[in-house]
Chain A
Amino acid sequence: MTTTYDLGTTSLRETNQALHAADVEGEHEITNLAGSHNVAVGLAAPIKVTIHGHVGYFAAGMNQQAEVTIRGNAGQGVAENMMSGTVRVTGNASQSAGATGRGGLLVIDGDAGARCGISMKGIDIVVGGSIGHMSAFMAQRGRLVVRGDAGDALGDSIYEARIYLRGTPKSLGADCVEKQMREEHLTELAGLLKAAGYEGDDPTTYKRFGSARTLYHFTHDNEY
């Protein structure tokens, strides 16, 4: 059975609290979005939530276990600090998509704005289109897959996160370098593409980027 929440008649607070209920299960749909912020945040159960329309900031923020599909565009910070589960945006996403995410899979079928994957800590992000500037800034763990191009300063101050990019970065940020694509990376990438529904892509057409690890210790040469 599917439960539907119409944000025109049910408040956001009631909707989110219903989705937080201890006994929540099954499938849920949210309609009449009108760009609402903080839709379906803090979910913590293995439920399916489909959001029909464009959402504002922080949709599906801190998601745990739930499978959330946003049929539209997402504003700033979609799936921020996600822990587990899946969030899919069928349109484009604004800046800071998947920020600080610690687990789970975020798929954006369109483009993502600036700072995609900023401070990511274990999340996997797959972007169907291109990403904006300063993406994967200080990215700590997890994988960022981009089927298009990247803006300026990709992976600035990156730690141990891995970036797979099919297109071209406008520029690389401090300490981010292109790395060799070894067998294990091709396998890993193929798995991520499959999980995101892009199994038709040839992993060998991607490049890998990561940390040169020259900023890991303060020395007289890297003060800033």
Chain B
Amino acid sequence: MTHTADDRARMGLRESATFDRVTIAAIQRAAQTGIYDIRGWGAKRALPHFDDLLFLGASMSRYPLEGYRERCGTDVVLGARNAKYPITLDIPVTIAGMSFGALGARAKEALGRAASITGTSTTTGDGGMTPEERGHSKTLVYQYLPNRYGMNPDDLRRADAIEVVLGQGAKPGGGGMLLGQKVSERVAGMRDLPAGIDQRSASRHPDWTGPDDLTIKINEIREITDWEKPIYVKVGASRTYYDVKLAVHAGADVVVVDGMQGGTAATQDVFIEHVGIPILAAVPQAVQALQELGVHKKTDGVQLIVSGGIRTGADVAKALALGADAVAIGTAALIALGDNDPKYAADYEALGSAAGFYDQFQAGQDPAGITTQDPDLQQRLDPEEGGRRVANYLRVLTMEAQTIARACGKAHVTHLEPEDMVALTIEAAAMARVPLAGTSWVPGLASTGGAL
């Protein structure tokens, strides 16, 4: 017979806060298998986040825009600094890089469809560009990663922008991995690898190392593509202030900063939970770097895209208010596609998980047919319907952000500013560099303006 929580309390049984049941299970699993835990998703621990910020809606001292009548713009231009053809987005929410390999081709197609419907961009990933994705994506950002799987100049020329990836929030300093179950013949062929092996990805680029080299590398990509396309540089959030400064010096047109809540398809749990910083702590550092270089919020400046834990229009609005030009979503887009859908509850349980908890993206058995290469499972995902769902979600994010922007009296969502917000906790006030609610106190702020 199993005791209920009440029974256990009555019996005086106390769970250890240090060695809680999840920790005990992890130790038992490690002892049994001798291999570290690899999983998908991003950091699952509680972190200071956008939830700890609130907007100061207009009242006497500010006046709002009419909620449904007055225009509140959402368009964003990216990469006008050097590129002949900058990117224009209708909404400030983009779809983050996720690889073909990590995701099935139908999922990639669905994300492309959603982005095209809503006038935003989607992004390739570690496994190269698929025809499905290119064909269904009006604006496609092509990632240039340490492995260069599938990298080729024809796809560079076919891309609308190129994103040089130095790291991602789930694992700054780490390379990707794709376990053998997902390395199908097609995935293996695109990556020039044998099918079925556990594929290990490099953590460093093979032909350049520091920021000075990156300057030359960015110029090489510009030369190959005849200076037509914006070049993004993506970093996992860690030493963000310095990384952003160096990325700008290296010639980035757009900097992408991914916080530790950002997802992965397969990474060591210890890496996901213990390396990197929350996006809340990263955005103000990135903004300070851009401001000091005189390129923040300027037409010919450097745009900032942030990601890692964006779920709602409130998160979008808060990221923009802190100084981002746009955000990117990954995990949330997969959920909108159907990831962790309760309708597959029995399937999740059969895999030893549960709807709402499933993070075994590395295993290739995704009941929702998204993070798998299994042809039968992929049939569960209709790319057209999936695209419609993600497009709906993108619209809701945008409308929610507009709602907040109007309430703060802004005629464009990117007009939101730190002054529109306060923090609920001292930690969030210090990280976001906005005052603790009801006070003028911004902990840690130096007299020079920035916290650094």
- The residues of A with any CB-CB pair to B shorter than 8 Å are 12-13, 16-17, 20, 37-38, 41-42, 44, 56-58, 61-62, 64, 76-77, 80-81, 83, 96, 99-100, 102, 115, 118-119, 121-122, 137-138, 140-141, 157, 159-160, 215-220, 223
| Contact B194–A119 (Cβ < 8 Å) | no
User: Does B192 interact with chain A (Cβ within 8 Å)?
Assistant: yes
Determine which of B35, B194, B200, B227 lies in contact with A220 in the assembled complex, contact meaning CB atoms within 8 Å.
B35
Which residues of chain B come closer than 8 Å to A64, judged between CB atoms?
153
Interface of A is mostly: loop
Q: How far is the CA of A50 from the CA of B431 in the complex (A)?
A: 55
In the complex, the 8 A-B pairs of residues with the closest C-beta atoms, listed nearest first: A220-B34, A42-B224, A77-B207, A121-B192, A96-B207, A99-B207, A100-B148, A216-B197
A61 touches B152 (CB 8 A): no
Contact of B207 among A76, A157, A159 (CB under 8 A): A76
B399 at the A interface (CB under 8 A): no
| Total residue contacts A-B, CB cutoff 8 A | 108
Q: Are B152 and A140 in contact (CB under 8 A)?
A: no
Partner of B35, one of A83, A119, A218: A218
CB neighbours of A61 from chain B (8 A): 220, 224
CA of A61 to CA of B148 in the docked complex: distance in angstroms?
13
Contact check, B200 vs A20: say whether CB atoms are below 8 A apart: no
Given contacts A44-B153, A102-B152, A122-B192, contact A223 B202 (CB under 8 A): no
* Inter-subunit contact B193/A159 (CB<8 Å): yes
> Quick check: is B116 within 8 A (CB to CB) of the other chain?
no
B148 touches A76 (CB 8 A): no
Instruction: Identify B152's interface contact among A80, A81, A217, CB under 8 A.
Output: A81
Q: A100: which B residues are within 8 A, CB to CB?
A: 147-148, 151, 206-207
The answer to whether B36 and A58 touch across the interface, beta carbons within 8 angstroms, is no
B61 at the interface (CB under 8 A from A): no
Q: Quick check: is B226 within 8 A (CB to CB) of the other chain?
A: yes
Q: Does A41 lie within 8 Å of B152, measured CB to CB?
A: no
**14 more A-B contacts (CB under 8 A) besides A115-B206, A218-B179?**
A38-B216, A41-B220, A42-B153, A57-B220, A62-B153, A76-B207, A80-B206, A81-B153, A100-B147, A138-B200, A141-B192, A216-B194, A216-B197, A218-B35
CB of B207 within 8 A of CB of A140, answer: no
Contacts of A118 in B (CB 8 A): 206-207
Answer yes or no: B392 CB below 8 A from chain A CBs. no
Give every chain A residue within 8 A of B180 (Cβ-Cβ).
216-217
B224: shortest Cβ distance to chain A, in Å?
Answer: 3
B223 touches A13 (CB 8 A): yes
Task: Please give, as numbers and ranges, the residues of chain A lying within 8 Å of B152 by CB-CB distance.
Answer: 62, 81, 83, 102
Task: Give the residue name and chain of the A residue nearest to B35 (CB).
Answer: A220
Bound complex: CA of A30 vs CA of B411, how far in Å? 53
- Residues of chain B lying within 8 A (CB to CB) of residue A216: 180, 194, 197-198
Do A37 and B153 touch across chains, with their CB atoms under 8 A apart? no
Contact of A119 among B38, B147, B216 (CB under 8 A): B147
**Assembly CA distance A196 to B202 (angstroms):** 30
Q: Which of A16, A58, A99, A157 lies in contact with B200, CB distance below 8 A?
A: A157
Please tell me if B208 contacts chain A, counting CB pairs below 8 Å.
Answer: yes
| Chain B 7-39 interface 0/1 with A at a Cβ cutoff of 8 Å (1 = within) | 000000000000000000000000001111010
Cβ contact within 8 Å between B192 and A99: no
- CB-CB < 8 A to B193: which residues of A? 140, 159-160
